[in-house]
Amino acid sequence: MKNSFKIILASGLLLLSLNSCKKEDLNLKPTNDVTADDVYATPAGYKNSLVKLYATYALTSPSGSDNSDVGGLNAGFADFFRLFWTSQELTTDEAICAWGDVGIPELNYSIPSNDNQFLRGLYSRSLLQITFCNEFLRESTPEKLASRNITGADATAITRYRAEARFLRAFQYWVLLDAFGNPPFVTEDDNIGKVAPKQIQRAALFSYVESELKAIEGDLADARTNDYGRADKGADWALLARLYLNAQVYTGTAKYTEAITYSSKVIASSYFLKDNYMDLFKADNDKNNTENILTINYDGVNGTNYGGTTFLINAAINADMLPATYGVPNGGWSGNRTRQNLPALFPDVNGTADKRGVFFGTKNTIDDVGTFTDGLRVTKFKNVTSGGTTPASLNGVFSSMDFALFRLAEQYLIYGEAVARGGSGGSAAQALTYVNALRFRAYGNTSGNVSAAALTTDFYLDERGRELYWEGHRRTDLVRFGKYAGSTYLWPYKGGVKAGASIPAYRNIFALPTADLIANPNLVQNTGY
């Protein structure tokens, strides 16, 4: 199913959808010369508009990679994944960037300013995508369908589209919940353009995301039955499991039992680990892959931007590494690499290496943040197929590797950590089976298997680092373990000090952008900023 849905994401159909606004709050309606009655006149119009909701994850605008739906930010920085990855990885022990663009050094140091352009961009991108979802939901009510004479099987299909739109909106509200805590809040029921959006508090937003994901479950396609790249029950349960694993951070009340319940639902839904770990991160990772649950789909010719996996691959290599080896023969941007903490998670066990740890270089310490060769490079991601061929790539730079927002391995680790933290309904024996399945794949044999006694909570932080590094989890994980802020755990350049320094607890969430505070008097800045 990948090719048809993937190409549609990049096609001119995108232009039929309502165009974007370039403000940072939700008190706006997308505008275009094309009216909603034109866009949504037919069942095909609804399908095209659903496509836009997904396309905004993979593209920066309807008009190409040189333009951005998000105002005030270079188009090259403006896609969702690049902004999300930057917030989750550069601020932690897993990555550091050599570039001196305004805002990057302070992310490297885990002390971003209130107006950091990359965090402002993430905030704006998430709100924009929520705005699109709200508009779709306003136009797809039963009353709207009836007024447009859309009935029967077509109306049933649009009911599913609505559930997917609500999932995508819930996902973006989870991003805001996790990163910013207390954002502005608007749904399709609010009278946009009349009043400024109200601010929602973190615990209330948690409850809203939880309730939305539960409410739409029955209308989503069964797990692994929807088109590739579209949300289904598996994605819904996976997000609920992630939400519940972090519930104590978000609300003060642990929900580890619920994390076990929903990760178990995913695990029981005919997902299976990919035999070769590295094949998860190649250009044909849509083929014969029952591990990925929901992906952002990229196409290196038909739908390009300088974020996504194009960024992930190019920013981690330079010319000395022979970019053609990574499927981007004219690429290599000399930006991101590791800090020494990440390679240290991969010691040999009984003389056998953990194959998940793939690095390039000879110097794992960083004496100069601006020197790309200080710190080992991550070679996990390639725009090359598992058979060794390179797909077509516009200008030899852009990637067709898809990115998994959710995959089965994360659910194994959610289950295990929730058991270790005291959740009920699971078992340590089952958690051990899941962990050792990941480690057997990693080592190619049982040499890396662990015993039940090893499965402490801290073990899961390290194992998540080994399994999920550079996949956009690390900041959330460190916060959950109480190791992001404070001095309990230091890493190089944390707090702007080479040896690492404590940062205050208020930095467990980011600041709301000043521009939105000025524009919306209902918003109150997060404590500490």
Output DSSP code: residue 18: P
Distance in angstroms (rounded) separating the CA atoms of residues 174 and 201? 13
Average pLDDT on 127-149 reads: 97
Nearest alpha carbon to residue 70 among 132, 135, 162, 17: 132
- 141, pLDDT greater than 70: yes
Residues 60-92: pLDDT tens digits? 988 878 898 888 889 899 999 999 999 999 999
- Check if the beta carbon of residue 200 is closer than 8 Å to that of residue 212: no
Q: Domains of the chain, with CATH numbers?
A: 9-219+485-529 (1.25.40.390), 298-401 (no CATH)
- Check if the beta carbon of residue 495 is closer than 8 Å to that of residue 109: yes
User: Please, which pLDDT band fits residue 24 given cuts at 50, 70 and 90?
Assistant: very low
Residue 116: which residues within 8 A CB-CB, separation 6 or more?
103, 106, 107, 510
Q: In the prediction, which pLDDT does 180 show? A: 98
Average pLDDT on 208-233 reads: 98
Q: In the prediction, which pLDDT does 4 show? A: 43
Q: In the prediction, which pLDDT does 13 show? A: 36
- 160, pLDDT greater than 50: yes
Nearest alpha carbon to residue 125 among 34, 20, 229, 213: 20
- 354, pLDDT greater than 50: yes
Looking at every residue in the chain, the average pLDDT score rounds to 93
Instruction: Let me know how many helices (H) and strands (E) the chain has, helices first.
Output: 18, 8
Q: In the prediction, which pLDDT does 191 show? A: 79
Residues 381-425: pLDDT tens digits? 999 999 999 999 999 999 999 999 999 999 999 999 999 999 999
Residues 162-195: pLDDT tens digits? 999 999 999 999 999 999 999 999 999 997 777 8
Residues 362-371: pLDDT tens digits? 999 999 999 9
* Per-residue tokens: 53: 């909701």
Nearest alpha carbon to residue 24 among 212, 196, 204: 196
Q: In the prediction, which pLDDT does 33 show? A: 60
- What are the φ/ψ torsions at residue 54 (nearest 5 degrees)? -75, -35
Q: In the prediction, which pLDDT does 221 show? A: 98
- Check if the beta carbon of residue 199 is closer than 8 Å to that of residue 182: yes
User: Please, which pLDDT band fits residue 290 given cuts at 50, 70 and 90?
Assistant: very high
